[in-house]
Amino acid sequence: MKYQERIVSDYKIMLGKPVIRGTRITVELILKKLSQGATVQDLINMYPNLVEADVLAALTYASEVIANEEVINLAS
């Protein structure tokens, strides 16, 4: 899945945090709700503008950000 089709960052929307295109629903919010035990269906019920592909795009986005994170070892 290409998350770029569903996840956007625009400084005019939520101060540039990544959001689901056409909404103010942040990737952060989706991840937080999932970590608190919400299911994909729960999210869709809570936020009727969401579809399953949006939630999966948020997960893909988050995993790619972490995969490309640079780790600096300060302990030498």
Residue 42 forms part of a structural domain? yes
Residue 71 forms part of a structural domain? no
For residue 31, give its domain range: 3-64
Q: What pLDDT shows up at residue 73?
A: 86
Does pTM top 0.85 for this prediction? yes
Number of domains in the chain: 1
Residue 28 forms part of a structural domain? yes
Q: What pLDDT shows up at residue 72?
A: 86
Q: What pLDDT shows up at residue 69?
A: 85
Name the residue with tokens 């503008």: 49
pLDDT over 80 at 68, yes or no: yes
Instruction: Give 11-66 pLDDT, tens digit per residue.
Output: 999 999 999 999 999 999 999 999 999 999 999 999 999 999 999 999 999 999 99
Residue 45 forms part of a structural domain? yes
